[in-house]
Amino acid sequence: MRYLSKNILKDLKKKMVFIGGPRQVGKTTLAKHFLKNIFSDGRYFNWDYTDDRHDLLAGKWQDNAGLVVFDELHKYRDWKNWIKGIYDTNETNTQFLVTGSARLDVYKKGGDSLLGRYHYWRLHPFGLDEYPSNMTPKEAFDRLMSVGGFPEPFLDGDEREARRWRRERFDRVIKEDIRDLGSIRQISLLDLFIHQLRTRVGNLIVMSNLAGEIQVSPKTIANWLDVLERMYLVFAVRPYTKNLPRAVIKPPKVFFYDNADVIGNQGAVFENLVATQLLKKIHLLEDTYGYRYELRYIRDKEGREVDFVILKDGLIEELIEVKHSKDSISKHLKYYAEKLNPKKATQIVANLKHPYSSGKINVIDPIRYFQKQSGLMV
């Protein structure tokens, strides 16, 4: 079972559970695992299938079903009110699990009619904190760098098949999921926008520059980025400026949930890998304990930059610098570690031979760093 299994089963006893995450990250597999091994009388409905859709709306499941799973229910325009009525009138012990490839929590805008009725969990790909027991940490790292952490290519480990899988996934997301979620008509230009993002991982994304290249408005670019974030294709890391008088409001950096989506050198791929692992960590902490976590970066007017900052309820928890090969401590990380006095300051180096510490800063390889986080995966 995946790392969220125990949390989800515990929450199902109290409320509905919603699971969001990228397409093909394993949400359906996890739900069907519950039905097969724990709730044998349960029922699975997929909104994309016509027969399931008709049965779902007709409420065709047994009163003692145990668990009812609604997959891709967010594609039903009135899904929130519909499931609210189902949940509020349920007088049995039936538990409800809702999965979706879009951010189910974004529908809170304008008031959340489901408030207090569900817990929300975000499922991420495999990583250095979660991989099969028959795989060594080095094998897991190499696969994350070559084929990404999504279950099918990660477990298969075949780069050729991974490329085919990725192309098909992109087609499904762009031509089906995004079409269902929003009113984007310029699909070919959106595809070009995504390609440009794939080549700019780790760099600042200046909306006006991209808009000029693609020949659309900056507002359109910003809307596209929002849609891609809602679909769990990419996530934006924005600047941290509080308590930094020399800080400037800079554009975001954009990373991909699928590490293998990155087009670039090994340094860009590795930075994306660290970004995805950090996001997985803070999403788990946020969904488990209810604190507000944010992933940011720092850059001031003098060009001093640190790749990532983890915030907890607005306060800095950790500064993180990412290097592929260079193991000498970044002078910018030293500067901000002294200036901001975070609880932790870390430099993660992909090809580090021996970890070491210098003052407030720990220099460590990614395997050791993220395996220390694996205790969170409970």
pLDDT at 182: 57
Sequence-distant contacts of 6-11: CB under 8 A, at least 24 apart: 6/378, 7/121, 7/287, 7/288, 7/378, 8/34, 8/97, 8/121, 9/34, 9/38, 11/119, 11/121
Domains and CATH numbers, the chain: 5-122 (3.40.50.300), 137-376 (no CATH)
**Residue 236 in tokens:** 């934006």
Closest alpha carbon to 148 in 180, 170, 174, 172: 170
Q: What are 182-234's pLDDT values in tens digits?
A: 567 778 889 999 999 999 999 999 999 999 999 999 999 999 999 899 889 99
Q: Is the pLDDT of residue 109 over 60?
A: no
E runs forming strands in the chain: 16-20, 43-46, 67-71, 95-100, 118-122, 234-239, 253-256, 293-299, 305-312, 315-323, 344-349, 356-358, 361-364
With vertex at residue 184, the alpha carbon angle to CA 57 and CA 24, rounded to the nearest 5 degrees, is 60
Most confident of 65-79, 97-111, 149-163: 149-163
pLDDT at 51: 96
Q: How far is CA 72 from the centre of its chain?
A: 17
Distance CA(290)–CA(312), nearest Å, equals 10
Q: Is residue 376 very low, low, confident or very high in pLDDT (cuts 50, 70, 90)? A: very low
Per the confidence metrics, is the pTM higher than 0.75?
A: yes
Give residue 168's identity as a one-letter amino acid code: E
Do 13 and 39 touch, CB atoms closer than 8 A?
Answer: no
Q: Is residue 131 very low, low, confident or very high in pLDDT (cuts 50, 70, 90)? A: very high
Which residues touch 272 (CB under 8 Å, ≥6 apart)?
A: 201, 202, 255, 256, 259, 262
Could you tell me the strand order of the sheet in which 95-100 lies? 43-46, 67-71, 95-100, 16-20, 118-122
